[in-house]
Chain A
Amino acid sequence: MKKNLYFEDVEIGDDIGPIKRSVTDEDVIEFVSVREKEITPSRFTSNEVANREGMPEAIVPGPMNIALMSQILTDWSDTVCLLKIDVVFRQTVPHNIDLTFSGIVTDKDETGDSTKLECDVVMENSDGVKLVIGTGVIALPNKP
C-alpha cells in the first residue's frame, strides 16, 4: 500500500486497493460490544435469531459494513481525510466469508479550488457479487 499520497499523485481512474478480509464472529461481537456491554443475541451475533428472522445466518451490522467500506479509503494513504461516505446495501453480509474491498477514483477537482476526490467503493464476495456499493469523498493534501 502506498503511503503519504498527495493530491497531485492521483489521477481519475486510479484503483484503490483491493483489500481482502473476512469478518469473523469475534469481530462482530467486538463491534457490537462497543455499544452493548452485555450482548443480547441478535441477528448480528446469533445464527438462531437470524434464522428466526428469515436469514440463513448471522449478518454483519450495517454500521460495521460502513466502517469497513470507509477503511478501504482511509487505509489507502495516511494522508487521506474522509469527508463523506454513502453506501447502498445490495445484499446482507454473512460472517466468516472472504470479502474483497476495492475502490476507484471517479472524479478530481482540477480547478485548484479544492483537493477533493470522489471515489466508488465496492464490497464483493468470492463470487464477485457486490454486497455493498457506495461512493466516498476524500481530500488529500497538496504536495509541500
Chain B
Amino acid sequence: MLLDLHTHSVASDDSRATVEQYVKWVNVLRRKGKSIDGFVLTEHRQFDHDVDYTSLASDDGIIILKGAELDTDTGHFLVYGISEEITDELDFSDVNMSAQNLVDICDTYGGIAIPAHPGRAGIGFAEYLDSGVTGFETIKSVERLNGSNRPGEGEKAESLIKAKGYLGTGGSDAHIVSAIGICMTSFDKEIKNESDLVQELRNGRFTAVRLES
C-alpha cells in the first residue's frame, strides 16, 4: 500500500492546493497507470480534530489521513496519530517547542513523531545532531525521501540513516497539486486509519519509494 506521508493543503499558508484537487490529481495519476493509495495531510503548526475527509476519500477509494508538521527546537517533525491528549499537551503553534518533549508526548499518547527532511539546513534533524544535540533514543525513523529536497539534502539524510540505523519514510512535501505522490511510503499491510499508520510505522514494516515513471 502506497501512501504519501507529507502533504500540505491550503490550510497551510504556503500551499496552493485544496484537498479536493489532490483527490482529483490522484485519480489522474491512477489513470496514467501510477500506483497511489492515499495521502496524509501534514499541515504546518496545526491540527483540526473536526475536519473530516471520510466522504471525499470513500467516494474515490482514496485513503486521506491527518497529521501535522511541527516546528521544534530540533527542526521540523512530522506527527501522526494525533489524539486529543497530544493537542492538549502541546501548543502546535509554538515554533520553538521542545522536540524531545514532542517525541515523548507522542510516545505516551499513541502518536509518533518523525524528523522531516532531516538533511535540510536550519530545519533538519541531522544538523542538530551534528551540533551535539543528544537524546531522542526512541526515534527509529526519519523522512528518507522528500519531494522538495534540494541538492545534498537527500545525501545528508542517507548519511544520518546509515549512521543511526534509522528506517526511512517517504513523502512529497507537496504544496501544489501536481507534486503529490512524487515520494511515498510503501507499507506491507493495509492502512485504514491513523492508528494503523502509527502501528505500522512503529513496527517498521515500510520502505520509502518514488513514484514510478
Distance to closest chain A CB from B62 (angstroms): 16
Chain A residues with CB below 8 A from B151, complex form? 127-129
* B117 interfacial by beta-carbon distance below 8 Å: no
Tell me which of A104, A118, A129 contacts B150 (CB under 8 A).
Answer: A129
Chain B residues with Cβ below 8 Å from A122 are: 176
Q: Report yes or no: B21 in contact with A88, Cβ–Cβ below 8 A.
A: no
In the complex the two chains form, is B177's CB within 8 Å of A127's CB? no
Q: Is B32 on the interface with A (CB-CB < 8 A)?
A: yes
**Nearest residue in A to B176 (C-beta to C-beta)?**
A120
Which residue of chain A has the shortest Cβ distance to B13 in the bound complex?
Answer: A88
| Chain A hits for B193, CB < 8 A | none
Q: Which of A12, A127, A128, A135 contacts B28 (CB 8 A)?
A: A12
Decide: B28 and A134 in contact? CB cutoff 8 A. Answer: no
Main secondary structure of the interface of A (DSSP, over half): strand
User: Interface size bucket, B side?
Assistant: 10 to 19
Q: How far is the CA of A107 from the CA of B23 in the complex (A)?
A: 11
In the complex, whether B192 has a CB less than 8 A from a CB of chain A is no
B17, B25, B28, B178 pick with most chain A CB within 10 angstroms: B178
Distance, CA A88 to CA B21, complexed state (A): 18
How far does the alpha carbon of A122 sit from the alpha carbon of B28 in the complex, in Å? 19
Interface check A79, CB cutoff 8 A = no
5 interchain residue pairs of minimum CB distance: A106-B177, A135-B16, A120-B176, A120-B178, A127-B151
Which residues of B come within 8 Å of A, CB atoms? 14-17, 21, 24-25, 28, 32, 148, 150-151, 175-179
Residues of A within 8 A of B (CB): 12-13, 86, 88, 90, 104, 106-107, 118, 120, 122, 127-130, 133-135
| 15 A–B contacts, CB within 8 A, in A order | A12-B24, A12-B28, A88-B15, A106-B25, A106-B177, A118-B21, A120-B176, A120-B177, A122-B176, A127-B150, A127-B151, A128-B151, A133-B16, A133-B175, A135-B16
